């Protein structure tokens, strides 16, 4: 196993993570502790960071929203949890389609001269972006579209209209970095009703920090061997499942090709039968015409 260069900590491979008490859970942390998380190996690409040698991907924090800022494709909530640091909670925004050329033309056409009432283009007035000599016909322009937010992982829509400065909130999210600074990408949230709920969270957070995070994660050789064996079995099962899926796909293609050939043969037989019937009808018609002296 690999160890860090500064501490005698053993970092286990990814197949061991399912035995970790921190990897597949919402880890209750303070903002200051989140900023103490460190990268190791290539796990940061998977948004996995480490407290000591504990792998952490999902975190849960309780704090007061002290700022809310909308930037390009993000809404940033600044959370202060009284741990000695603040942290940004990022919420994705759905990308709105660009306005069409026809919409832009409609907006341009309703710009009128405040004195003449004529469209500015017809009045020969060159409008500058800062000009105050134009008005917009009331009721014509649509109000700006409401911003729709989504979760990071599943892109489910999430309403954060209640998350305003001054709100005490519990947030759960996925870790990431932005400009070498830790950040939380929002997945879920809950408004904290009172200080009692906040104190219970802080108590659980402190207990987890002392009992779990501050103690290095240790696995025995037997546990590592068992986890590796389970991972290999899982890889073999995944490979076998893929082979079965490919075999089913081949059989489906062969069956569809066989059905297509059968349909083509049936259609060919029906066409021959229709041609034979049409020939017989044509001969009967000619015979009737000759009988009555028309042929």
Residue with tokens 């809950």: 190
Residue with tokens 């999210």: 173
Report pLDDT digits (tens) over 243-263. Answer: 777 778 888 888 888 888 889
pLDDT at 100 over 60: no
Between the two ends of the chain, the Cα-to-Cα distance in Å is: 101
Predicted local distance difference test score (pLDDT) of residue 96: 61
Q: What SS3 state is found at 81?
A: coil
* Greatest mean pLDDT range, 77-86, 107-116, 242-251, 282-291: 77-86
pLDDT at 238 over 80: no
Residue 18 has pLDDT above 70, yes or no: yes
Would residue 138 count as lying in a domain?
Answer: no
Q: Which of 22, 2, 4 is nearest to 12 (CA)?
A: 2
The string of pLDDT tens digits covering residues 132-189 is 434 444 444 444 557 899 998 889 999 999 999 999 999 999 999 988 899 999 999 9
Task: Say if residue 293's pLDDT is above 80.
Answer: no
Asked whether the whole model's pTM tops 0.75, one would answer no
89 and 225 assigned to the same domain:
no
Residue 283 has pLDDT above 90, yes or no: no
- Long-range contacts of 106-114, Cβ-Cβ distance < 8 Å, separation of 24 or more: 106/140, 107/141, 110/136, 110/137, 110/140, 110/141, 111/135, 111/136, 112/137
| Final residue of a structural domain among 218, 237, 257 | 218
Pick from 52, 80, 37: nearest CA to 180: 37
Q: Do residues 166 and 39 both lie within one domain? A: yes
* Residue 118 reports pLDDT greater than 80: no
Residue 105 lies in a domain: no
Q: Is the pLDDT of residue 4 over 80?
A: no
Query: Is 139 part of a structural domain of the chain?
Result: no
- 86 and 24 belong to one structural domain: yes
Percent of the residues in the chain that have a pLDDT greater than 70, as a whole number:
77
**Same domain flag for 90 and 159:** yes
CA distance linking residue 55 with residue 13, whole number of Å = 10
The verdict on 171 and 293 lying in the same domain is no
Domain assignment present for 102: no
DSSP state of 216: P
- Lowest average pLDDT, out of 82-86, 123-127, 155-159, goes to 123-127
Closest CA to 66 of 78, 76, 82, 81: 78
Q: What is the pLDDT of residue 130?
A: 40
87-94: average pLDDT: 94
Backbone angles phi, psi at 41, to 5 degrees: 60, -140
Residue 281 class from Cβ within 10 Å (0-12 exposed, 13-18 middle, 19+ buried)?
exposed
Question: How many structural domains does the chain have?
Answer: 2
On the question of pLDDT at 94 being above 80, the answer is yes
Alpha-carbon distance 176 to 183, whole Å? 5
Same domain, 272 and 245: yes
Whether 131 is in a domain gets the answer: no
Same-domain status, 273 and 225: yes
Tell me: do 212 and 169 sit in the same domain. yes
If one compares 115 and 49, the residue with the highest pLDDT of the two is 49
92 — pLDDT class (breaks 50, 70, 90) = very high
Q: Looking at residue 195, which CATH number applies to its domain?
A: 2.40.50.140
The separation between CA 216 and the C-alpha centre of its own chain, rounded to angstroms, equals 33
Residues 161 and 92 in one domain: yes
Handedness of CA 12, 14, 20, 25 (dihedral sign): positive
Which of these three, 188, 218, 248, is where a domain ends? Answer: 218
Give yes or no: residues 9 and 89 share one domain: yes
Q: Is residue 29 situated within a structural domain?
A: yes
Domain boundary among 189, 218, 247: 218
* Domain hosting residue 6, numbered range: 2-96+144-218
pLDDT: is 210 or 125 the higher one? 210
- The fraction of the chain above a pLDDT of 90, given in percent, is 44
Which residue would you say has higher pLDDT here, 85 or 293?
Answer: 85
Cα distance between residue 75 and residue 281, in whole Å? 78
At 285, the pLDDT band (50, 70, 90 cuts) reads: confident
């Amino acid at each position: 196993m690999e160890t860090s260069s500064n501490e005698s900590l053993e970092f286990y491979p990814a197949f061991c993570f399912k035995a970790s008490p921190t990897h597949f859970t919402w880890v209750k942390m303070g903002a200051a502790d989140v900023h103490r998380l460190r990268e190791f190996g290539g796990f940061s690409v998977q948004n996995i960071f480490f407290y000591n040698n504990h792998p952490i991907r999902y975190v849960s924090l309780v704090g007061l929203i002290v700022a809310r800022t909308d930037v390009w494709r993000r809404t940033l909530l600044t959370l202060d949890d009284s741990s000695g640091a603040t942290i940004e909670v990022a919420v994705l925004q759905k990308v709105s389609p660009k306005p069409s050329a026809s919409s832009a033309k409609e907006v341009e056409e309703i710009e009128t001269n405040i004195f003449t009432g004529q469209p500015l283009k017809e009045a020969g007035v060159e409008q500058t972006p800062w000009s105050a000599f134009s008005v917009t016909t009331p009721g014509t322009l649509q109000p700006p579209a409401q911003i729709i937010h989504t979760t990071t992982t599943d892109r489910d829509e999430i309403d954060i209209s209640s998350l305003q400065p001054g709100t005490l909130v519990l947030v759960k999210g996925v870790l990431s970095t932005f400009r070498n600074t830790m950040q939380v990408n929002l997945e879920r949230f809950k408004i904290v009703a009172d200080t009692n709920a906040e104190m219970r969270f802080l108590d659980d957070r402190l207990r987890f920090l002392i009992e779990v995070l501050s103690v290095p994660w240790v696995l025995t050789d037997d546990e590592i061997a068992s986890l590796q064996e389970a991972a290999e079995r899982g890889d073999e099962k995944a490979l076998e499942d893929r082979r079965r899926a490919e075999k089913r796909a081949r059989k489906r293609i062969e069956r569809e090709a066989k059905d297509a050939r059968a349909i083509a043969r049936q259609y060919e037989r029906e066409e021959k039968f229709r041609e034979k019937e049409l020939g017989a009808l044509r001969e009967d018609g000619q015979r009737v015409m000759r009988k009555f002296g028309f042929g």
